[in-house]
Amino acid sequence: MRFKRSALVLLLALLALGTLVAQTTTLNFWTWRPEDTDAYNKLIAVFEKANPGIDVVLTAQKNTEYNTILSAALAGGSGPDVFQSRAYGGLETFAQSGYMEPLEKWVPELKKFDKAPLRGATSIKDGKVYGVPFASQTLFIYYNKAIYKQLGLSVPETWDQFLANLQAMKKAGVQPLANGGKDGWTLEVLQGAICPNFYGANDFFDAVMTGKATFQDPRYVGAIAKLKELTPYMPDLFMGVSYTDMQSSFINELAGHFIGGSFEAGYFSAQNPKLEYDVFPAPVAKKGDKPYVSVYADGNFSMNAGSRNKDAAAKFLKFLAGKTTGDFFIKDLKQVSAVPGADTSSSPYIQKVLSLQKYNTPYIMLVGFRYQQPTGSVLLQAALQGFMAGKFDAAEVGRQVQEGLATWHAPFQKK
């Protein structure tokens, strides 16, 4: 009798365990930031503690390969339940392919988000919201404070002052710029940081969007030409220098400047907690000009329309739309969170970024020209690689971009 009772207890325990196992849902979550894997796992642990029936498995793909891998996975029915999605035109492609679930009914918290970040998560074709915006990014220049102090340099306001600082570093045997050109997207970032203050920022953006100006406008061509003035201060054989090489050079204090985005700060600090750096907006043509910075909605968290775990995915997305995640982006990733009510007061760096956004302009190709093929980014990146390598001049960059965009941007097709 005692044996039967023990067997019954064991059977009931096994049944209970089986029920628990059956109730556990595994969510696959993809990101394009391998650099942030450790930080994201900390955030996921907070979610899992509050939702014991859901396990989130994080997979980080290489940035430049992410879209291709994600598209293939979604098309093949093996994609993640929740994934980082690009903003603007990058979102449009996946949304209109039927790979994304509209989120209004799943994540009502989206109603509280500001219009600017939501623009990057909304389809221009059907007006539906397909993502939870996670951050805005700003393009500017990082500098090593210790090197500046050592050489007695001041933060530059004008282009000539900036070039003088670069020259002073070169003369002192310090690599002035970490930037290279192997990865075309980093050259687009270079353009986004430096050129607006030469082509006219918002005035020019509005003009090309409406067809009142083209990318062959002397203002734009002249702005592109300014980039060539930086090449004497880039690493030797800079066209072979990759993004990770750039990061490593600045992190290890081998280079005095890094022209990039606000998204770099968290990784810089994590890799070298002793690194003393600060940021400044790209220099203006002459003293007194307003220093504009390019700003954009970086991306979103989206749900796979084919997911078999939509209820669990919605819980995770609601968490990603909440204050815990917003504060995490500010404190751990050092990024300007899109989540309403996120606490910016704890981060002097974020306060600095927000102050630079006083004069802001759209990151031109990402915000305005990624909705059809060939995208402005693809055209510009290829053209800039040829230009920086010395194969042709700035006017040719403008011509290639203009001719490619004129195949689909209606305002450029008007007689």
Residue type for position 284: V
| Radius of gyration of the chain, Cα coordinates, nearest whole angstrom | 24
- Where does a domain end: 314, 344, 374? 344
| 281 within some domain | yes
| 81 within some domain | yes
Tell me, yes or no, whether 120 and 67 share the same domain.
yes
CA 61/CA 296 separation, integer angstroms: 22
Grade residue 23 by pLDDT with cuts at 50, 70 and 90: confident
| 20 within some domain | no
Cβ burial, residue 248 (10 Å; 0-12/13-18/19+): middle
Tell me, yes or no, whether 156 and 251 share the same domain.
yes
CB-CB neighbours of 412 under 10 Å:
17
The region that residue 349 occupies, defined by phi over 0 for left and psi between -120 and 50 for alpha, beta otherwise, is alpha
Grade residue 6 by pLDDT with cuts at 50, 70 and 90: low
- Residue 234 token pair: 């880039």
Cα 328 to Cα 63, 79, 335, 339, 406: the distances in Å are: 21, 26, 9, 10, 42
Biggest alpha carbon–alpha carbon distance for the chain: 95
| 11 within some domain | no
Tell me, yes or no, whether 123 and 149 share the same domain.
no
| 367 within some domain | yes
Question: What's the whole-model pTM score?
Answer: 0.87
- Residue 380 token pair: 């510009």
Domain count, the chain: 2
Cβ burial, residue 334 (10 Å; 0-12/13-18/19+): buried
Per-residue pLDDT at 410 exceeds 90: yes
Q: What is the pLDDT of residue 13?
A: 53
- In tens, the pLDDT along 196-218 reads 999 999 999 999 999 999 999 99
Tell me, yes or no, whether 67 and 172 share the same domain.
no
Q: Classify residue 34 by its DSSP letter.
A: G
- Where does a domain end: 283, 316, 344? 344
Average pLDDT of 277-303?
97
| 18 within some domain | no
Tell me, yes or no, whether 340 and 393 share the same domain.
no
Tell me, yes or no, whether 183 and 42 share the same domain.
no
Tell me, yes or no, whether 164 and 154 share the same domain.
yes
Q: What is the pLDDT of residue 414?
A: 76
Average pLDDT of 109-136?
95
Tell me, yes or no, whether 257 and 279 share the same domain.
yes
Does residue 291 have a cis peptide bond before it, meaning omega lies within 30 degrees of 0?
no
State the pairing for strand pair 336-337/132-144: antiparallel
Residues near 253 by beta carbon (within 8 Å), at least 6 away in sequence: 144, 146, 147, 272, 275
Domain carrying residue 130:
25-135+298-344
CATH number of 127's domain: 3.40.190.10
| 9 within some domain | no
Tell me, yes or no, whether 263 and 409 share the same domain.
yes
Tell me, yes or no, whether 181 and 278 share the same domain.
yes
Tell me, yes or no, whether 78 and 148 share the same domain.
no
| 252 within some domain | yes
Per-residue pLDDT at 20 exceeds 50: no
Tell me, yes or no, whether 219 and 141 share the same domain.
yes
Residues near 376 by beta carbon (within 8 Å), at least 6 away in sequence: 364, 365, 368, 369, 370, 401, 404, 405
Average pLDDT of 119-144?
96
